[in-house]
Structure 1
């Protein structure tokens, strides 16, 4: 066996292995897992925002808007976590139609979570009362 045929046979085996690993379904499942892991940081931020809104209470101008948005975001994030667990324990090779549907639902719910968090960020959360800056400037300190 000459060196060229050994090299060709070896690269063919490696190529088949890589193409199997990098199949469309495998990539899709790994992408969904990565999105789910990013969700952990967002969940922490939402929990902190929820605490801030509850601390300020109904006196916050956007309390009645922020509270349902943050709670909905947190509930949807838990739903995504459960769906990701189902996705990765359901089918080993990813060829199952049910897995493809779950993957699509997860991507859609993550999009909704993103929109909710853009709205949450737009309304903003400030633990200080609205007149805080006015009071500081009125007292002569900058």
Structure 2
């Protein structure tokens, strides 16, 4: 019985380590969009990665946006090689777009597209931690 419990705990620990090793996990600073930017915490959500707004800034400095705590990056599933596919929410217009994301070191490229990917808006984010 002790071996079964030990094996189960080891399996859980390894699964947690695998999720923590995901290159997208961490806090990222969004590029300025419509005069403001945010810090977004990327974390595992099921078999994907989701990003939640944790802090917001404008020309005057940090402010308490009503968007704090909202999910900006939605169900980005890894496709290998630092690439992901899912959805992205744009706070300035409240719309959800088809999303693509690529992580390379401390840089994250995010795009939101409409019309089957024909019209896209792109941003490059910087890792904070």
TM-score normalised by structure 1 residue count: 0.30
Larger radius of gyration: 1
| Greater relative CO, 1 or 2 (CA 8 Å, sep 6+) | 1
* Structure number having the greater strand percentage: 2
* Structure number having the greater helix percentage: 1
TM-score normalised by structure 2 residue count: 0.32
